Amino acid sequence: MSESGCRRKDCWKIELPLRAYAREMGRLDGKVIVLSAAAQGIGRACAIAFGKEGARVIATDINEEKLKELEQYSGIETKVLDVTQKVQVEMLAKDIENIDVLFNCAG
């Protein structure tokens, strides 16, 4: 069989290095996600998962101490926010140009 139609493993040598250097895209690359109640529990787990998938996560909570722990994860920025305070929510909305996902986990 010709080189272009080779089916043996040694014919794949050209393709393997290219795949090794290619970065896998996350399912949320380029997305902006605002997440409330992100300091612990389901909110925290979701913030970390979204960040791992490539999203820019704006994690909010009233618990500043716990919220700061999320800053160690890639893609996550934190803002102290009380979602029961309309003025705070409006200020946050003005600070963020585009939001792809709004996840209100506060309850």
pLDDT band at 18 (very low <50, low <70, confident <90, very high): very low
Mean pLDDT of 12-17: 46
pLDDT tens, position by position, 40-94: 999 999 999 999 999 999 999 999 999 999 999 999 999 999 999 999 999 999 9
First to last CA, the chain: 65
Check residue 37 and give left, alpha or beta (phi > 0: left; psi -120 to 50: alpha): left
- CATH number of the domain at 28-104, please? 3.40.50.720
Domain boundaries, the chain: 28-104
Residue 14 has pLDDT above 60, yes or no: no
Question: Can you give the pLDDT at residue 1?
Answer: 45
Mean pLDDT of 21-32: 76
Check residue 105 and give left, alpha or beta (phi > 0: left; psi -120 to 50: alpha): alpha
Distance CA 71, CA 106 (A): 19
32-36, strands of its sheet edge to edge: 76-80, 56-61, 32-36, 101-104
Q: What angle do CA 54, 60, 63 make, to 5 degrees?
A: 130
> Scanning the structure block, which residue is given the tokens 């393709």?
15
What's the predicted TM-score (pTM) here? Answer: 0.75
Residue 19 CB neighbour total at 10 angstroms: 9
Residue 95 has pLDDT above 80, yes or no: yes
Q: Which residue has the higher pLDDT, 27 or 107?
A: 27
